[in-house]
Amino acid sequence: MTDTFIQLDNLTKTFPGITEPAVDELSLDVCEGETVMLVGPSGCGKTTTLKMINRLVEPTSGRIIIGGQDVTDANPDELRRGIGYVIQQGGLFPHMRVRDNVAAVLQLLKWSSTKISQRVDEMLDLVGLDPAVYRDRYPKQLSGGERQRVGVARALAADPPIMLLDEPFGAVDPIVRERLQDEFLRLQREICKTIVFVTHDLTEAIKMGDRIAIVRDHSAVAQFDTPARILAKPANEFVRDFLGENAELRALSLLEVTSDMLSTLPSISVEPGEVDPARAQGPATVVIQDGRPVGWVTADASDRTFLPVEPLVLGPRTHLADAVGQMVRVGAPAAILVDEAGQLVGCLEFSAVPRAVVHAAAGSAPKSDRVDKEVADADHRA
Amino acid sequence: MSFSEYLSYYGADVVQQFGGHLGVVVLATLLGSIVGISTGIAVYRVPRASALAIKVSGIVLTIPSLALYVLLLGLLGLGWPPVLTALTLYSLLPIVQNTIVGLCGVDAATVEAAKAIGMSRRRCLIRVELPMAWPIILTGVRVSALLLVSTAAIGAIVNGPGLGEAIYTGLNQIGTPTALYSALSGIVGIVIVGVLLNFVFIALARLTVSGGLRD
Amino acid sequence: MLTTAPDVPLASSESSQIRRLPREGTFRLLFTTPIVLLAGAVALYLWVQTRELDSVEQRILNSTQLGLALRQHLVLVGASTAVVLLIAVPLGIVLSRPSVRRIAPIVNALVVGAQSIPSFGLIVLFALTLGFGAQYAIYALIISALLPVLSNTVAGLEEIDLELKEAASGIGMTRGQVLRRVELPLAVPVVLAGLRTAIVWNVGTATVAAFAGAGGLGTVITVGLIQNRDVVTVVGGMLTAFLAILLDHFARVAQELLKPKGL
């Protein structure tokens, strides 16, 4: 976690004619390069909060500080040219071709036309659209997913340090949504923008966010933390309800299997073709062939069987859920993990999983004071 | 005398009247567009003002053309001034109404996207709202123009320009063989003006309406 | 010719958040216009009183003559509008049926040409071929007003959401039932708008019918023009304008009151 890049300081928004504020003294900070998700039920004020960052909605009180500068009273047009904004359905200009849509901010910034057309092609490439095919199309000729990509391209064109996204993948079907989410994650790995992302979909929040702010009425923050910690330790009743049943199970798909979770179980080496259940020691033994683990030999009282297993590779792509999945599928008491070369590293026993979750959720990085205060305030108000 | 003989005698007059008719309609439409579209742009964000603008231009349209021409005589005398003024006033309603409806009808999300990019109000109006409302505005201008084509005819009674003259002459010459020819050449000429203008507008729409907006 | 009259919002923009124009309160709706017109009429009367009228002017600017002219005008407008409604509405229904709609492009081209036929021209044409008098003038009025009401009816029926019609058929309504229970009620506002346009248009054309010997307020104007008496011309013009605005007002009230609830 690096420096705070966006700081929302006691932001309040009261709409004329409505007594209850839409956003009530919200304070939040977003670090440079991180993705913060604003999740909450409909009507809780998260979109209003987002729109206050680029001042599409002017705060009734409070300050917005971006990159160390107080922009609450700055020129809104200029402010917005430095912030990328993506909404549901893309918000593309229907009367302009794709290239003019993507170039919209660049024209405002008075780039030269050669630079613009170069950049447009670059951006279309970046979001996975072939410039030659899509450059001259009109929005009405594009599918929902394609329109979203163009919307993202437009938002990124001027290389703004900040991106604001308001349910950008809400209007497309689930298959396209997943693809767009994956691509967005890939993109973010490449370009590292500071992102604030509004969604009502908890799964999306868990998938996409570095930190999640669970938000309730009047945009009060119920909990603001990493997905893993929220899932493992919901701060209050509201968060627990919002996460739904078996939130802890979701933590399993977030937490990586690390070597400190593993233990060593007895193993035997065999020649190819020769697997003798009789040689099992204890309840289960790892069978190794040519130096690579291939499965288990279990020795139940009734019978001894050989269970072939596809070992998991220890690394950032392997989560506790994959390990548990392997165990359940095969019917084995532990999961087998190997390194890149296929050599046995260790086994994750089923009994070790709960401890691993709690341990990982406790985490080593200290929470910031701001977050603690925020959670305490929310609890006070609840 | 047959119709063709009539035309060979008076053809020049008819052509001149045709030009005059076309001219006064085009000029009035142009003036009406300038005033009407500007008014629409000025008021579309304020519902009260919009309703008022539409109401006032609507009332003008209600007034029968002969009455309006005649009432303007006092100020402007005979000839083309009262006719041009009256026609310009008549052209206002469809143009003002369509400008307002067109601009108000632009998708709010698109306008917000324009603001979010950092476009100023003025830029947003010019680059986004007007182009998107243009098909509707152009339809309003077309409706006005076609309306004016037939309304201009009565202007002949106050010595106005155009083919109404031929019709009026026909009326005054009742009993003579040329009366009917005169009236007919006026009517047919005016219909031709109408059809011609309609084609012009279709071509104009092709040229100026963005491909992304056409159905 | 107008395809929509002033206060009817264009129907098709449901998805976007268009700003709806404000609806006036009932009192303002019913009474502003007549009150203003009354004030105008009083002002006109007073103005005439201040002028010394010579014999020519006196012969026409008295209540008998003006009353007669007014009645004649109303007869012209009433008769022609009624006939137009009787023809245009059923014809409009026929023309909007899907089977007939195929010939739409040809019809459209004809419509534009027909719309340009000047009503003045029709009046004169009928006068020259059939003769002078109110009867033939009414024929001309009918033909000239037929088109706006017809095109409005057709446009209105076509605009009714295709989905709506499909939904109605989907729940088992016959073609006729869909027409009666769904399409017509929803087309009422548009037909009324066309009617209103027709009335206003007819008041204007009836003014010109004076040239064909049909009587009406146009005669006051023509006397003023021919005799070169400004007072008469102004009175004729103003009275015609007042009548047009008043009739339009009544039509508008009818529009508001007869609108199906929920629109």
| Dihedral angle sign, alpha carbons of residues A4, A6, A12, A18 | negative
Cross-chain Cβ contact B66/C224 below 8 Å: no
Cross-chain Cβ contact B157/C225 below 8 Å: yes
Residue C244, chain B, CB below 8 Å: the answer is: yes
Is the pLDDT at C77 greater than 70? The verdict is yes
Rounded to the nearest angstrom, the gap between the alpha carbon of residue C254 and the centroid of all alpha carbons in its chain is 13
CATH number of B3-209: 1.10.3720.10
> How does residue B175 score in pLDDT terms, banded at 50, 70 and 90?
confident
Residue A333 burial class via C-beta count within 10 angstroms: exposed 0-12, middle 13-18, buried 19 and up:
middle
3-state secondary structure chain C: CCCCCCCCCCCCCCCCCCCCCCCCCHHHHHHHHHHHHHHHHHHHHHHHHHCCCCHHHHHHCCHHHHHHHHHHHHHHHHHHHHHHHHHHHHHHHHHCCHHHHCCHHHHHHHHHHHHCCCHHHHHHHHHHHCCCCHHHHHHHHHHHHHHHHHHHHHHHHHHCCHHHHHHHHHCCCCHHHHHHHHHHHHHHHHHHHHHHHHHHHHHHHHHHHHHHCCCCCHHHHHHHHHCCCHHHHHHHHHHHHHHHHHHHHHHHHHHHHHCCCCC
Cross-chain Cβ contact C237/B154 below 8 Å: no
Residue B74, chain A, CB below 8 Å: the answer is: no
For residue B207, the one-letter residue type is L
Helix or strand holding residue A292 (H, E): strand A292-299
Cα separation, A328 vs A332, in Å, equals 7
Res A382: pLDDT: 46
Is the pLDDT at C18 greater than 50? The verdict is no
Residue C98, chain B, CB below 8 Å: the answer is: no
Q: Compute the nearest-CA separation of B123 from chain A (Å).
A: 9
Residue B170, chain C, CB below 8 Å: the answer is: yes
> How does residue C261 score in pLDDT terms, banded at 50, 70 and 90?
low
| Closest chain A residue by Cα to residue B212 | A95
Domain at A4-252, CATH class: alpha beta
What's the mean pLDDT when you consider all of chain B? 90
Maximum mean pLDDT: which of A162-176, B78-92, C153-167: B78-92
Chains that touch A (3 or more CB pairs under 8 A): B
Q: What is the DSSP string of A67-133?
A: TTEE-TTS-HHHHHHTEEEEETTTT--TTS-HHHHHTHHHHHTT--HHHHHHHHHHHHHHTT--HHH
Chains that touch C (3 or more CB pairs under 8 A): B
Cα separation, C164 vs C25, in Å, equals 31
Q: Which residue from C13, C116, C124 is facing B105, i.e. has the nearest CB?
A: C13
Cross-chain Cβ contact B112/A87 below 8 Å: yes
- Looking only at the bridges linking them, the beta strands covering A69-70 and A61-66 are antiparallel
Residue C218, chain B, CB below 8 Å: the answer is: yes
Q: Which residue from B120, B123, B212 is facing A95, i.e. has the nearest CB?
A: B212
Cross-chain Cβ contact B117/A81 below 8 Å: yes
Which position has the higher pLDDT, A285 or A38? Answer: A38
Res A367: pLDDT: 34
With CA atoms as reference, report the closest residue to A363 among A233, A213, A193, A181. A233
Which position has the higher pLDDT, C161 or C68? Answer: C68
Judge C/A contact: 3 or more CB pairs < 8 A. Answer: no
- ipTM of predicted assembly, 2 dp: 0.85
C78-100, pLDDT tens digit by residue? 999 999 888 888 887 777 776 66
Give me the residues of B, 60-89, that contact C with CB < 8 A.
61-68, 70-71, 73-74
Q: Compute the nearest-CA separation of C180 from chain B (Å).
A: 30
In a mutational test of the A interface, the residue from B106, B112, B117 whose CB has the highest number of chain A CBs within 10 Å is B117
Is the pLDDT at C4 greater than 80? The verdict is no
Res B30: pLDDT: 96
Res A371: pLDDT: 40
Residue B171, chain C, CB below 8 Å: the answer is: yes
List the strands of the sheet with A334-338, edge to edge.
Answer: A312-313, A334-338, A344-349
> How does residue A368 score in pLDDT terms, banded at 50, 70 and 90?
very low
Mean per-residue pLDDT for C157-172?
A: 69
Give me the residues of B, 114-153, that contact A with CB < 8 A.
114-120, 123, 128, 131-132
Cross-chain Cβ contact C236/B97 below 8 Å: no
Break chain A into its structural domains and give their ranges.
4-252, 259-358
- Looking only at the bridges linking them, the beta strands covering A221-225 and A292-299 are unpaired
Q: First vs last Cα of chain A: how many Å apart? A: 29
With CA atoms as reference, report the closest residue to B191 among C126, C114, C144, C3. C114
> How does residue A372 score in pLDDT terms, banded at 50, 70 and 90?
very low
Which position has the higher pLDDT, C208 or C27? Answer: C208
Which DSSP category does B209 fall into? S
Q: Which residue from B117, B128, B212 is facing A105, i.e. has the nearest CB?
A: B117
High-pLDDT (> 70) share of chain A, %: 88
| Closest chain C residue by Cα to residue B179 | C128
Res A365: pLDDT: 36
Is the pLDDT at A200 greater than 50? The verdict is yes
Q: How many CB pairs under 8 A join A and B?
A: 66
Can you give the pTM of this predicted structure?
0.78
Mean per-residue pLDDT for C165-185?
A: 72
Residues of C in contact with B71 (CB under 8 A): 234, 237-238, 241
> How does residue A369 score in pLDDT terms, banded at 50, 70 and 90?
very low
Is the pLDDT at B203 greater than 90? The verdict is yes
Q: Which residue has the tokens 């059809």?
A: B195
In a mutational test of the B interface, the residue from C8, C128, C207 whose CB has the highest number of chain B CBs within 10 Å is C128
Q: Compute the nearest-CA separation of B108 from chain A (Å).
A: 9
Q: Which residue from B147, B187, B198 is facing C112, i.e. has the nearest CB?
A: B198
Helix or strand holding residue A234 (H, E): none
Residue B187, chain C, CB below 8 Å: the answer is: yes
- Chain A residues bordering chain B (beta-carbon distance below 8 Å): 54, 56, 77-81, 83, 85, 87, 89, 91-97, 104-105, 108, 138-140, 154
- Looking only at the bridges linking them, the beta strands covering A194-199 and A35-39 are parallel
Mean per-residue pLDDT for C110-137?
A: 87
Res A305: pLDDT: 74
Res C224: pLDDT: 87
A241-289, pLDDT tens digit by residue? 888 877 777 778 777 788 888 888 877 777 766 666 666 655 677 777 7
Q: Compute the nearest-CA separation of B213 from chain A (Å).
A: 6
Give me the residues of B, 88-117, that contact C with CB < 8 A.
93-94, 97, 101, 104-108
Mean per-residue pLDDT for C45-67?
A: 81
Q: Which residue has the tokens 């009192």?
A: C27
B72-130, pLDDT tens digit by residue? 988 888 889 999 999 999 999 999 999 999 999 998 889 999 999 989 999 999 999 99
B131-142, pLDDT tens digit by residue? 999 999 999 999
Judge C/B contact: 3 or more CB pairs < 8 A. Answer: yes
Break chain B into its structural domains and give their ranges.
3-209
Cross-chain Cβ contact B50/C20 below 8 Å: no
Residue B75, chain A, CB below 8 Å: the answer is: no
> What CATH superfamily is the domain A259-358?
CBS-domain (3.10.580.10)
Q: Which residue from B65, B97, B167 is facing C121, i.e. has the nearest CB?
A: B167
Res A364: pLDDT: 39
Which position has the higher pLDDT, A72 or A315? Answer: A72
Residues of A in contact with B118 (CB under 8 A): 77-81, 105, 108
High-pLDDT (> 90) share of chain B, %: 64
